[in-house]
Amino acid sequence: MKPSHILMALIEGGGNVPPMLGLAKKLKCEGHAITILSEPCLAEPIKEMGAAFIPFTEVFTRSNRNEDLFRDWNASKFNNPIFERIMFGPSPKVIDQCIDVIQRRAVDLLVVDVLIFPAITAAEYSNIPKIIVFHMPEFLPGPNRPPGNMGIKPGTTFLHKIRDRVLTQLMYFSFDKFKSILNEKRLELSLSPLKHTLDLFDRAEIRMIQTSQSFDYPIKPRPKNVRYWGPELADPDWAAESTINLRLNKKEKPCVVVSFSSTFQNQASAIQNSISALAQMDVVGIVTLGPAMQEHTFSAPGHVEVLKSAKHSELFPQADLLITHGGHGTIMRALSFGVPILCLPMGRDQDDNAIKLVSKGCGLTLPPTASPKSIQKAVEELLSSEAYSNHAKRMRTELRSRDERERVLQEINNIVRSPIISPDK
């Protein structure tokens, strides 16, 4: 049988890249031919994994992956520049290029990064199945929970329900500001208009959530197209091999890893405050800067090593604690080794991740402006109590279960070979 051809569309958004490329590798192992449409700056890692690479040509044309694309470090919850700059402003051109690749390469399935989810319109037009991939917990609201990315814990009281209803309306309003951009394109393609921008998520055959269901607050009842894939735990392609000996003192001292966002979130002061906290403690400290902070200089004592980058898979097996911004990929990799976490969330999905982490008993959270003294106090509490470590180890077992992965792979194999009947055709 001729292998099915899958087109994946994504941008370089930091934490979304390892999950998307990890999924590409899994689909390639299933025998599918993979083409990835992305930014020029991702050409090398995509080609190295054996997929065909096509660059965006009119939008998302960065050749330097360290250039700040989001510019969202001081964004509000419902007025984020990502909406205009990433999701919706470029979407007509992204849709056009996806359609061009689908037609030229006889693509059978379109898989889209949630950061550019309007691109599934190209699959609607081309009458092929489509998947939207969330590289973090799903942020859509449901009957039992508020919208995501707000750092709000679900509740069951009448007041919680009123709160959730109001916030859901605000979320729909914020996304519907860009509905005209999408409907203008849909009219051009002879597709029916959207009542709400978020309705696009219901049109995907699969909404793939790349986290553990046990970590998330799943929508109940679960939408028909939601599938929990589980987290991708591979290191980013840019992470360097580490030659540092973390156990110079034969575990007489706890090892604390500091690792903030790989993209810019104005995190320099939070990193320095974390280093200053560890400076007052009898620990081994390891700080990994990542691409966004590699050119910054930090003041660190002798027992705190500052590295431009390092593989988490090497550091976390030896770590006793992680201090981080709370990006989903970073906390999943830490919890997969049973490491408790101190979160200083800075936006995006991080506030939600921090709330979930605390509710599972796996860590603590502080504001990103926390002082060295506050960080030191939290680190001392986390290291002195076995409860956090025990909860993190229980989460480790759940994360490695991989949720529905094998069943979802089989479902993808089935739908990629089945014709789609579109109501607009």
- Which range among 65-74, 161-170, 198-207 shows the weakest confidence by mean pLDDT? 65-74
Band the pLDDT of 67: cuts 50, 70, 90.
confident
Q: Contact 424/192 with Cβ under 8 angstroms?
A: yes
Report the C-alpha gap between 123 and 119 in whole angstroms.
8
Report the C-alpha gap between 391 and 373 in whole angstroms.
25
Q: Phi-psi category of 11—alpha, beta or left, where left has phi over 0 and alpha has psi -120 to 50?
A: beta
- Residue whose structure tokens are 């899958």: 6
Question: CATH 3.40.50.2000 residue ranges in the chain?
Answer: 5-230+402-415, 255-399
The per-residue pLDDT for 65 is 85
Spatial CB neighbours of 371, under 8 Å, sequence gap ≥ 6: 273
5-230+402-415 topology per CATH:
Rossmann fold (3.40.50)
Share of the chain above pLDDT 90, in %: 70
Nearest C-alpha neighbor of 308 from the set 323, 297, 322: 297
pLDDT digits (tens, 9 = 90+) for 215-224: 999 999 999 9
Band the pLDDT of 77: cuts 50, 70, 90.
low
Instruction: State mean pLDDT over 262-281.
Output: 89
Mean pLDDT of the chain: 90
Band the pLDDT of 310: cuts 50, 70, 90.
confident
Instruction: State mean pLDDT over 130-145.
Output: 94
- Which range among 116-130, 356-370, 410-424 shows the weakest confidence by mean pLDDT? 410-424
The per-residue pLDDT for 324 is 94
> Between 208 and 151, where is the model more confident?
208
Instruction: State mean pLDDT over 323-346.
Output: 93
The per-residue pLDDT for 249 is 44
Share of the chain above pLDDT 70, in %: 92
Residue 247 pLDDT exceeds 60: no
Residue 239 pLDDT exceeds 90: no
The per-residue pLDDT for 419 is 56
Residue 80 pLDDT exceeds 70: yes
Spell out the SS3 assignment of the chain: CCCCEEEEECCCCCCCHHHHHHHHHHHHHCCCEEEEEECHHHHHHHHHCCCEEEECCCCCCCCCCCCCCCCCCCCCCCCCHHHHHHHHCCHHHHHHHHHHHHHHCCCCEEEEEHHHHHHHHHHHHHCCCEEEEECCCCCCCECCECCCCCCCCCCCCHHHHHHHHHHHHHHHHHHHCCHHHHHHHHHHCCCCCCCCHHHHHHHCCEEEECCCCCCCCCCCCCCCCEEECCCCCCCCCCCCCCCCCCCCCCCCCCEEEEECCCCCCCCHHHHHHHHHHHHCCCCEEEEECCHHHCCCCCCCCCCEEEECCCCHHHHHHHCCEEEECCCHHHHHHHHCCCCCEEECCCCCCHHHHHHHHHHCCCEEECCCCCCHHHHHHHHHHHHHCHHHHHHHHHHHHHHCCCCCHHHHHHHHHHHCCCCCCCCCC
Band the pLDDT of 250: cuts 50, 70, 90.
very low
Residue 156 pLDDT exceeds 80: yes
Residue 120 pLDDT exceeds 90: yes
Nearest C-alpha neighbor of 259 from the set 332, 355, 151: 332
Give whichever of 72-76, 107-111, 141-145 has the largest mean pLDDT: 107-111
- Which range among 142-146, 288-292, 320-324, 392-396 shows the weakest confidence by mean pLDDT? 288-292
Residue 150 pLDDT exceeds 90: no
Band the pLDDT of 73: cuts 50, 70, 90.
low
Peptide bond into 221 cis (omega under 30): yes
255-399 topology per CATH:
Rossmann fold (3.40.50)
Residue 252 pLDDT exceeds 80: no
The per-residue pLDDT for 309 is 83
Residue 246 pLDDT exceeds 60: no
Q: Contact 286/257 with Cβ under 8 angstroms?
A: yes
The per-residue pLDDT for 248 is 46
Q: Contact 277/379 with Cβ under 8 angstroms?
A: yes
Report the C-alpha gap between 96 and 376 in whole angstroms.
52
Report the C-alpha gap between 305 and 288 in whole angstroms.
9
Instruction: State mean pLDDT over 342-355.
Output: 90
Residue 51 pLDDT exceeds 90: yes
Spatial CB neighbours of 17, under 8 Å, sequence gap ≥ 6: 10, 42, 45, 236, 237
pLDDT digits (tens, 9 = 90+) for 355-414: 999 999 999 999 999 999 999 999 999 999 999 999 999 988 888 766 688 899 999 999
